[in-house]
Structure 1
Amino acid sequence: MEHKVICVLAMVLMLALSSLAQNQEEACAVMPRDRKNCGFPGVTAQQCKEKGCCFDDSIRGIPWCFQPLVIESQQEEECPF
């Protein structure tokens, strides 16, 4: 019985992590011309991600560390009061 519970919990954890990764990919799908700089010259991918930003060094001459898109599900609802 315990083995089944552990397997189910592991599957739920994997699904949750893959969902987070997919949301991150969507949030980082910013057109190069629309990227807003989030780093500094020489920033590493790790430093960029620690700031909650996206990192893509595949295109020269544009920010490699940039702010992610705000996805509708991530926006906080405004208080009506």
Structure 2
Amino acid sequence: MEPRVICVLLLVSTLALSSLAQVQLETCVVDPHKRTNCGSPGITPSQCKDKGCCFDNTVRGVPWCFFPVAVDNPPEEECSF
């Protein structure tokens, strides 16, 4: 392969990997009393999810549609080659 092609491929791969590393992981596992409201009363699960929020109506007296929280220590993924 031509050296220029190799350099371009290396550059594109590096940029792609760096953008993947910047993705912040979020979770909907939030203590019910620490939820931050993301919807209005009567919001449906699909409307809530369309806003990018989490829906859980199993606990009364807390927001059912709420913002996800960032994962502090994401699990390390294993790569198998």
User: Which TM class, normalised by the smaller chain length?
Assistant: 0.5 to 0.7
| Secondary structure class of the residue paired with 1:47 | helix
Structure 1 length-normalised TM:
0.56
Tell me the percent identity.
52
Instruction: Identify the residue that residue 70 of structure 2 maps to in structure 1.
Output: 70
Aligned CA-pair RMSD: 2.1
Q: In structure 1, what is the Cα distance between the partners aligned to 2:56 and 2:50? A: 14
* Higher-Rg member (1/2): 2
Alignment gaps of 5+ in structure 2: 1-24, 75-81
Mapped pair 1:43 → 2:43 = yes
Inter-partner Cα distance in structure 1 for 2:30 and 2:72? 15
Matched letter for residue 45 of structure 2: A
Give me the whole-angstrom Cα distance separating, in 2, the residues matched to 1:45 and 1:55. Answer: 6
Q: Which runs of 4+ in 1 moved over 6 A?
A: none
Q: Gaps spanning 5+ residues in structure 1: where? A: 1-22, 75-81
TM-score, structure 2 length as denominator?
0.56
Q: CA offset at residue 73 of structure 1?
A: 7.8
Which structure's residues are more often helix, by fraction?
A: 1
Using the TM superposition, give the Cα deviation of residue 70 of structure 1 relative to its aligned residue in structure 2, in angstroms.
1.3
